[in-house]
């Protein structure tokens, strides 16, 4: 199967890493050539590390590296059976990408968006064949977490849904078919988890205390470590999008504490601090 991935940021690279272990060909495209090469280097290193620790057969690792092709133009994605769009979560940009893909790929190719904020139905409306458009929301980090939400838009065809589920299973993931609702399932749960934790800060609890309690209860990450991992700005924008899309349901209201961190440049992920001071491994105070 030939898979094309449009967008070579962190999300696109991690999806590419996962897909490479099962696809016959993976075409990676980004308008920024440097981003593509960084993504390819990251994927190669991660595959090598997995092989070195015995988590991946070395022959399979060699094969995975050979299936990658970098595409300087979107036209080079034309032969793909499935195109996964992983560009920035901006509706206008995504519609522009889908409009262009709609013109170049075969009529039976599937077009998938990784959006976790916008409507799959709205993105599909930019195409001539909305029945072949679907959402594939890879729970982060995409190369580790098994869950993939398969999001059906209003006009997504049943055949597209079944083929998308087969693809997800083929790459070793678990598909969960959901309707095209604001935030789908995973993000609504994440919003509830992190939103309530932020309210607890207002009651005087500390981020590290809350994280330790939730991790002791069996959660893989406490809410504040999760926010830092996803990105403070990502969590804030997600909360705002769900809040607006649900006609300002109070339980989804974004917490102003997140906006203050963003204004301070503390957005989490690998490039900055969020609730935790990375060098000192110390959380910011609750107040």
The two structure tokens encoding residue 106: 């075969």
**Rounded Cα–Cα distance for residues 160 and 173 (Å):** 17
Indicate the SS3 state at residue 147.
strand
- What's the pLDDT tens digit per position in 178-197? 999 988 898 999 999 999 99
pLDDT (0 to 100) of residue 179: 95
Distance in angstroms (rounded) separating the CA atoms of residues 227 and 74? 33
Structural element, H or E, at residue 74: none
d(CA 181, CA 245): 9
Cα torsion for 189, 222, 235, 268, to the nearest 10°?
Answer: -160
Q: Please, what are the domains in the chain? A: 2-179 (3.40.50.720), 187-283 (1.10.1040.50)
pLDDT at 287 over 60: no
| Mean pLDDT, the chain, integer | 91
Q: Are 43 and 67 in contact (CB under 8 A)?
A: no
pTM score above 0.85: yes
The 3-state DSSP class for residue 13 equals helix
- On the question of a cis peptide bond just before residue 148, with omega within 30 degrees of 0, the verdict is no
């Amino acid at each position: 199967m030939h898979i094309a991935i449009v967008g070579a940021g962190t999300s696109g690279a991690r999806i590419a890493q996962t897909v490479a272990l099962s696809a016959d060909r993976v075409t990676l495209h980004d308008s920024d050539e440097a981003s593509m090469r960084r993504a390819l280097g990251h994927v190669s290193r991660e595959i090598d590390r997995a092989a070195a620790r015995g988590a991946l057969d070395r022959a399979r690792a060699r094969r995975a590296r050979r299936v990658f092709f970098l595409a300087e133009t979107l036209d080079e994605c034309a032969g793909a059976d499935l195109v996964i769009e992983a560009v920035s979560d901006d509706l206008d940009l995504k519609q522009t990408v889908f409009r262009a893909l709609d013109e170049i790929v075969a009529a039976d190719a599937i077009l998938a968006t990784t959006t976790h904020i916008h409507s799959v139905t709205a993105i599909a409306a930019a195409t001539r064949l909305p029945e072949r458009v679907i959402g594939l929301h890879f729970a982060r980090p995409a190369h580790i977490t098994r869950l993939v939400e398969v999001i059906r838009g209003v006009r997504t065809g049943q055949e597209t849904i079944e083929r998308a589920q087969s693809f997800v299973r083929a790459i070793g993931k678990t598909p969960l078919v959901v309707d095209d609702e604001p935030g789908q399932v995973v993000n609504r749960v994440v919003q509830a988890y992190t939103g309530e934790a932020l309210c607890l800060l207002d009651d005087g609890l500390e981020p590290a205390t809350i994280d330790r309690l939730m991790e002791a209860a069996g959660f893989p990450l406490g809410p504040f470590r999760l926010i830092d991992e996803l990105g403070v700005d990502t969590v804030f924008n997600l909360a705002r999008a769900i809040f607006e899309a649900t006609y300002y349901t109070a339980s989804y209201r974004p917490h102003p504490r997140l906006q203050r961190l963003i204004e301070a440049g503390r957005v989490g992920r690998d490039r900055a601090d969020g609730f935790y001071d990375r060098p000192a491994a110390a959380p910011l105070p609750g107040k």
